[in-house]
Structures are given as structure tokens and as C-alpha cells.
Structure 1
């Protein structure tokens, strides 16, 4: 059976400051984010609960740093993959939310799911298609293996859309809140005479007791309008 573990990065600077964080604006993890990743590393090393065959990471600094911290617990080289990055923000990268919204307009993927967040960036439809393609490619290439992917809240959101075969060109009428360094575990099983994906766990943050996992800034806190429905 194929096991897919999606791990969100630790708390990042962009989680606690109103920064639009693509490759330029991503300042990596906060001190608490580092501590969260270290807690996850220690949990995985002690429990041995994930016997991974492959470790993949987004190339964005906050995910890369998280993957590098947990790598010793898994004992695998990191394969860096651009296709499991968060939604690409184009020319808004590195701006504050207020600066970006003033220049490019407030993102509203509920009403305009095919409008990019900024020139050179992705729309909701672009993003879900990219993530679906990446998940298909990764799970096909490593079929029958145990795969760990260190990624982002939006990527984990899209995994539900992908595996549950939900409409991908509209924002789902639910609110995900994927926690930093949480584990989401998908398993491919034989049921009803076919291969189906089973969700075994979501938002597993047992290792964060005493550290906390609530971000200080949400997109909607920075502007009285609809948030970008990916990573908070």
C-alpha cells in the first residue's frame, strides 16, 4: 500500500507578520517554528511511526528549513520539489498584505477563482491543478512506498480536493485550518474492487503540547475582505 504523509512547515515569519511570502518574502521559521519542527523530529525519532522510503520538500525556505530539521529522524536525503510550493504570489512577493492589496486588489477567490493574486502569480484554479498534478506524479512514481512531503497549508487543503474528487475550480464551502508541523496521513487501499484513498489522520499535532500552534496573523485580520483561502 502507498502511504502519503503531508507535513506542514513550522510557524514562519510570514505566519506572524503580514508578509506575502513567495521565494523573496519568505524569511523562514520563527523561533517557535524551529521548536515545533524539533519537537516533530524528536517524536518521529522516538516513535518510529513513519518508516519513510522518500522525503520530499517544497523549495520555499519555511518548508526547506522544516525538512532539514526533521531529516535526521527519517534518515533520508531530501528531494526538493517546486511543485509542492504554496500558491505562487507573483509580483506581490515580499510586499506587506496591505501594499499588495492596494496595488493589485484584495484577493477574492470565492468570487474570482480564476484571477491570479498578482501578475505572474497563480489563481485558485492554477494552484489546485498544479498540486493535483504533483500529487498524482509523486504517488505514481513512488507507488507502494511510504512518502513524506513537507509542504504548506494550501497544498494540504488541495489534497482533500484531489483525493475526494471535489470541484477544483471553485473554493470549497468549508474552512481548513491546518496547523504548523501537523501530520496529514493518506493511505491507498483496495476497497470495493478498486484502489481508493483513505484519510487516516488530519492535523495531528500531538508533539506540540506546551509549545502552541496558533498563528498570530490571519489573512483576513489584515483587511476587511475575503482572505486568500490557502495558507494562513
Structure 2
């Protein structure tokens, strides 16, 4: 529940019941993109609440799994806020990190004597989909559906 996308949790970080989720729509493209502290819904989570939730998760993950390899599966908004937390980006960003569906991102915690340092190795890696794309082309399918070639005259 701690790495759910924004709009799935209340301001106190407890999840909304699935049958009562508020409709956030395109939160990132809202009419108030520079208002990260104002929740869109009463009792809802603001962007800053979301950042605190993700940052806390990351800090606790490091404490519990230092020097281990950890895989986290999550939505793109969580990855975007991971960048914000690890790279210490303020609340009013001027750029966004575009994350594709099933893209793989790899961060590494590099230990230094007096500080913590994060390294980004890659973002949006898609090699794991190449074999699927090749197989679809061989079978004449597009997006998993049979693709018919237009008739020629």
C-alpha cells in the first residue's frame, strides 16, 4: 500500500477502499500544477503527501536492505517521485521524468564515508519487450491481436 500511485491514499497515508477511490484523472496535468501542497479532494493526498510517503518508503527500504539488491514494481508516478527524493528536487519541478509502461529503471546506493550518494544507471529500459515485438511480427499480430494486411489491387 505504501507505493500505490497518488489518489489511492488519504492524507494520513491510509489507502482508500478500492470501491471508494476518488477520480483523480490527469493529476500531473491539473489546472493547479504549482500547488503541490493542496489536496485535490477533501482528506485526499496532495503531491507533497505522496512525496513523503514514497520518500519514507525509500528510506526504510535502504535501512532494512542495505547492501542488497531489491526490486520494486510500481507505477510511473512512484518512479517520478523516487527521482525527486533521491536527487533532492524541490516541490516546484521544472521538468518531468517520463516513464513508459513496463520500463525498467535502476538506481544504486553508493556508499561514501560521510554521505549517501545515489547513482542512476538507466531509465525506461525496454529490452525485455523485444522478443514479444519480434514474435508479434512473425505471427502477423499487432498489440496481441491478429493484424490483417489491407487487400491489394
For these two proteins, the number of residue pairs brought into alignment is 124
2:107 matched to 1:186?
yes
| Pairing 1:141–2:141 present | no
Which residue number corresponds to residue 62 of structure 1?
none
Conserved in 2, the CA contact under 8 Å of 1:185 and 1:199? yes
Distance change (3 Å), C-alpha of 1:149 and 1:178: same
Residues 1:129 and 1:95: Cα distance change in structure 2 (over 3 Å): closer
Which structure has greater helix proportion?
1
Partner of 1:84: 3
Contact 1:116 1:124 in 2 (8 A): yes
User: Counterparts of 1:18-29 in structure 2 under 5 Å?
Assistant: none
Partner of 2:30: 107
Question: RCO greater where, 1 or 2, for CA within 8 Å and sep 6 or more?
Answer: 1
The alpha carbon displacement at 1:193 in A equals: 5.7
How many Å apart are 1:191 and its aligned residue?
4.8
| CA displacement at 1:152 relative to structure 2 | 1.0
TM-score normalized by structure 2?
A: 0.68
Check the 8 A contact 2:7/2:23 in 1, yes or no.
no
Counterpart selection for 1:197 from 118, 121, 146: 118
Structure whose alpha-carbon radius of gyration is higher:
2
Cα offset, 1:144, TM superposition: 0.9
Take 1:95 and 1:126, find their aligned partners in 2: how far apart are those partners?
Answer: 17
CA deviations 1:125-173 (Å, max 9, x no partner) are 1111111111001111111111011111111001111111111x33x11
User: How far, CA to CA, are the matches of 2:25 and 2:36 in structure 1?
Assistant: 19
Instruction: Show the counterpart of 1:119.
Output: 42
Q: Give the RMSD, CA atoms, in angstroms.
A: 3.0
Look up the SS of the partner of 1:203 in the other structure: strand
